[in-house]
Structure 1
Amino acid sequence: MTEVSWGVTLPLPGLGLHRHREIVEALPSLGYRDVWTGEGGGYDGLTALTAALAWSPGLRAGTGVLPAQTRGPGVLAQTAASMAELGQAEVLLGIGSSVPAHVTALNGRPHSRPYAHVRDLLRFLRRVFDGEHVTETYETFSIDFGLRRRPAVRPKVIVGALRPGMLKLAFAEGDGAITNVLAAHEVPRIVEAAGPPGEGQELVVKIFVTPTEDAAHARAAGRAFLGWILNQPPYRAFHDWLGRGEALAASRAAWDAGDRRGAAEALPDSVVDELWVHGSPEECRAHIARYVHPGVTAVELHVTQTPELRAAPHTLPDVLKALRAH
């Protein structure tokens, strides 16, 4: 079984970016090789990674994920290459179709033909990182670009993938995939849909974790996010494919009626508990370990704020160490 690489999502709970240096430098001693970012309505997906690589060269840096439609292809290639040179380590450039709320509402770009955008950007980036000057008219953009300086460590291009179509694209043409918002027992279905991995390909599983024994706090945090994400079109389709549509019917009805709070409140505890890991750090570690199926190469832990961490923020390194499954 391939050794799994462990990582955390930046920013970490309760810390502004300007206060991250000490803990980022300590991550390898806590059992973490990777740093990751997401991108939505909060921080962008690149600044925190760049800072982390400056503080602790040698960490792997991954985006999980950047919307394919919101940055120019050449700028994205330059950015990943610059990060790889700065960190002198592997960059996992995660790109995905994202959701209309992030692409259109936040960036004013049409969320049209998402699969084609991801496919074309993936094909372009792979060629550029292989050293080619690409002059090409793709279905969704035209480009005339090559890197003037190639990084010593070639960036990988992975795809944010939920269902078979995007998973097959990720492994047939890319360096693998990153997936999220699923239960531990559902990971084998992702592995099966992706097909046999090639040499060096990645399957990254992102897990949302609230390490507290205050179940009410944890479930409230989970509902606040899950009530939104599970009602975005790609995730509705994903959870229909996973067979969770009936359990989400009440939440969907509330969302469609314009009741966002009701959509969150209608999520059954059983769904929240499957998709949002919580409990003591030791209980969370045991739950997280169930996500590590054959085929998974990396785990990204998105750790959220807890009453305990708010009261004692200096314990965050100990919590991170405790969450790391061995």
Structure 2
Amino acid sequence: MLVDFAAGVGASPLDVEAAAVRAERDGYDGVGAAESKHDVFTALTLAARATETITLQSGIAVAFARNPMSLAVLANDLQLISRGRFQLGLGSQVQAHIERRFAMPWGKPAARMAEFIAAVRAIWDAWRTGERLAFRGEFYRHTLMTDFFDPGPNPFGNPPILLAAVGERMTAVAGRVADGVLVHPLTSPAYIRERTRPVLGETREGFSLSLSAFVVLGEDDKARSKAEQAVRGQIAFYASTPAYRPVLELHGWGDLADRLNHLSRQRAWAEMAGLISDDVLDTFAVGGDVARGLRDRFAGLVDRISFYTPYEVEPELLRELRESVAIP
């Protein structure tokens, strides 16, 4: 497995830049940045300018908050600036956020995503070949590209497109049209083996699975206890989302998903964390001998892994973990 560094979910662009510099110095293979409080492309542009070799991944950029043309331009520019080190990680987000936060259309998300990615590739192909842009789909139409707006072929090629997927329909889309899948942190080896990989089917050469795995780290019992509580809270938050219910259902915890969803509507975050039992925690997070646990669970299942730590952790602990996990 390649080992990436995951910048904090709420990290500012300057924080991501600094994290990328440290990650490259410490020997990580890549760095991923999320899109929550800040624009992921701004953050990765700074990281690209401050580094030389490390892979840069948007994990994720919200596709449906944009259109294929705007995203094609952003990704093309980041591929240029990074000199070929960019990976375009996309995700759909959920209906409430697309409609109520971004004021963008929603509907048929799997079909829309497949067409979105096809449109981005069609735009890149038009720039590469100089042929007329003529993309016409159910959701998107791109039929105008004049020389003034055409950047031409990217000397570093087009970046790979990775798609975040949990449910079977979006996973199937990833297998058909993407270059890899971003496995959600709320997952388990059983879900990857029984639901993700079979649905992906036969994929193109070089197709990759990337996972940001929950880990419990700390210098002493007090620190580990604090980390464990933070991970319980984050698991509860994700598990309350209806789109992730199939993961819990596989393990017989469908009722827990319903209870968490009900409590989330009341913003009862502390009570939600209390519902995450040790069995649930151990299924979705790795504690104890974390390096061995990650290798035992995910070696051969995923191609890239990063460490999801929704709490403050000493950088030295992460460096030691990276070195241990990276051992063949």
Moved more, 58-67 or 144-153: 144-153
The unaligned stretches of length 5 or more in structure 1 are: none
Query: Where in structure 2 are there 5+ consecutive unaligned residues?
Result: none
Residue 244 of structure 1 is matched in structure 2 by 253
Report runs of 4+ in structure 1 exceeding 6 Å deviation: none
Match of residue 307 from structure 2: 301
The AA in structure 2 aligned to 1:150 is P
Say if 1:64 and 1:94, in contact at 8 Å, map to a contact too. Answer: yes
Q: For 2:102, give the aligned amino acid.
A: N
Instruction: Give yes or no for the alignment of 1:197 onto 2:203.
Output: yes
Match of 2:76 among 68, 77, 81: 81
Number of residue equivalences: 313
User: Shift in Å at residue 77 of structure 1?
Assistant: 0.5
Give 1:104's aligned residue: 99
Query: Which residue pairs with 2:139 in the alignment?
Result: 140
Q: Is the 8 A contact 2:84 2:157 kept in 1?
A: yes
- Report the counterpart of residue 33 of structure 1 in structure 2: 29
Query: Is the partner of 1:235 in helix, strand or coil?
Result: helix
C-alpha distance in 2, partners of 1:182/1:295?
Answer: 12
Asked if 2 retains the 8 angstrom alpha-carbon contact of 1:39 and 1:66, the reply is yes
Instruction: For 1:11 and 1:248, locate their aligned partners in 2 and report how far apart those are by CA, in whole Å.
Output: 25
Q: 1:284 to 1:47 in 2, by over 3 A?
A: farther
Amino acid at match of 2:226: H
For 2:7, the equivalent position in structure 1 comes to 10
Superimposed CA distance per residue, residues 92-116 of structure 1 (whole angstroms, 9 cap, x where no aligned partner): 2122221235423432334433223
CA RMSD of superposed structures (Å): 2.9
Match of 2:236 in 1: 227
> Shift of the alpha carbon at 1:51?
1.3
122 and 290 in structure 1: CA distance in 2 versus 1, 3 angstrom threshold: farther
Q: 1:285 to 1:81 in 2, by over 3 A?
A: same
Q: Contact (CA 8 Å) 2:183, 2:210: kept in 1 or not?
A: yes
SS in 2 for 1:117: helix
Q: CA deviation at 1:171?
A: 1.5
Cα deviation, 1:44-82, whole Å, max 9, x if unaligned, reads 322221111111133222122222210121111011111
Report the Cα distance in structure 2 between the residues aligned to 1:183 and 1:203, rounded to whole angstroms.
Answer: 13
Q: Which amino acid aligns with 1:27?
A: A
2:98–2:104 contact (8 Å) kept in structure 1: yes
Within a 5 Å distance, the mapping from 1:130-279 to structure 2 comes to 130=125, 131=128, 133-144=132-143, 147-151=150-154, 152-180=156-184, 181-189=186-194, 190-212=196-218, 213=221, 214-241=223-250, 243-255=252-264, 259-279=268-288
Does the 8 A contact of 2:79 with 2:86 survive in 1?
yes
Alignment CA distance shift 1:90-1:249 (3 Å):
same
How far apart in 1 are the matches of 2:65 and 2:18?
32
Q: Is 1:69 matched with 2:72?
A: no
Secondary structure of 1:208's aligned partner: strand
Q: Is the 8 A contact 2:227 2:311 kept in 1?
A: no
Q: Which moved more, 1:77-86 or 1:132-141?
A: 132-141
Contact 1:224 1:264 in 2 (8 A): yes
Tell me the TM-score normalized by structure 1: 0.83
Residues 284 and 219 of structure 1: is their aligned pair in 2 closer, same or farther, counting only changes over 3 Å?
Answer: same
Distance in 2 separating the partners of 1:243 and 1:145:
51
